[in-house]
Amino acid sequence: MTTAITLGRGSRLLTLYSYYSLFLALAIVVVDGVDKQNIIIAGKLPDLFLILS
């Protein structure tokens, strides 16, 4: 009985982490798409932005 509760909690945590990483990736893509002149992101260190994204 305890194992089922633990797996449920782990599953919820994994789902939350998946949503968080999806939101973070989408936020980076949206900000990069809006920033046509590369002022906000990748203006000074484009190689670092490429590696991090």
Mean of all residue pLDDT scores within the chain: 77
Could you give the CA distance from residue 27 to residue 21 in angstroms, rounded to a whole number?
Answer: 10
Of 23-27, 31-35, 36-40, 45-49, which has the strongest mean pLDDT?
23-27
* pLDDT tens sequence across 18-31: 999 999 989 888 87
Q: For the CA atoms of the chain, what is the radius of gyration?
A: 17
Q: What is the pTM of this model?
A: 0.55
Ramachandran class of 24: left when φ > 0, alpha when ψ lies in -120 to 50, beta otherwise: alpha
